[in-house]
Structure 1
Amino acid sequence: MSEIITRQVKESDTKNAGYSIVRANHADMERLGCSNGDIVQLEGKRKALARVMAEQKNSEQGFVQIDNVVRENAGITTGDQVNICKAVYIHVLKVTVMPHASTKRLLQTQPHQKKYLSRNRAVECSDETNIG
């Protein structure tokens, strides 16, 4: 099993908003066994998936930057603690969506399995994500 780290949540840069990206420092990515673009699982009140990317500048130890979509899917807010590990996933073969305000809700996938959606967004069953 992959190593699990716990970090405090910070707001992500606006350029990452809506892309399901988690920004972590290089040391944390190494500890997780991740490279840029790998999928990680975040666990707050709920579990969520996101693509991990290295922070561009030197960052404080103990923090990760997470966008609002991923925070909402994980049931966390800025300042909360979140558990992070490298995710095990499969490529999605079929997705059924329906309108839900300004986002689309992923309704039907293979139950209890992690998914990888097109447009480089990682999602699980019942996650919200932007499509288009």
Structure 2
Amino acid sequence: MNKVNAISNAVPDLEPTQGWYDKHFSWNNVDPQDTKPVCFSSYRPDNPDTPGTPPKVVGPWENEIDCLEMDGKGSRIWRFAHTYSTAKNGFWSTPRGNVSQDGRFFLFTSDWEDQLGKAPNGRQYRHDVFLVELR
């Protein structure tokens, strides 16, 4: 138990990582008590833009689909999938995700490391929609 005059973190802070990465949160599932996990997708804006080159990862939860426990009892994080997004091929190449209303699935967009072929404009790589089962 922490003393009121000497508050400390229950879990130590993560060390700062190089640069920054972007996260998109989704908490769309139906639960009047708000006890379901909040899910999020992330990417780095400095990911490489060469087909088949893996995304840059220098810290935890980068370029991933994760969910965070929100029941007020714990602070568990579930890691479900990688986004494989370069985030270099327009707005929807970034992993913009949404959790289903029943909390079972997470739908997100990605250009999948430029592996989906060229877009009709011929200047960028395609992006597509991907589904992850949250279990």
Question: Which band: TM-score by shorter chain?
Answer: under 0.3
Higher RCO (CA < 8 A, seq sep 6+): 1
Q: Which structure dedicates a bigger proportion of its chain to strand? A: 1
Q: Which has the larger radius of gyration?
A: 2
TM-score, normalised to structure 2's length? 0.24
TM-score, normalised to structure 1's length? 0.24
Q: Which structure dedicates a bigger proportion of its chain to helix? A: 1
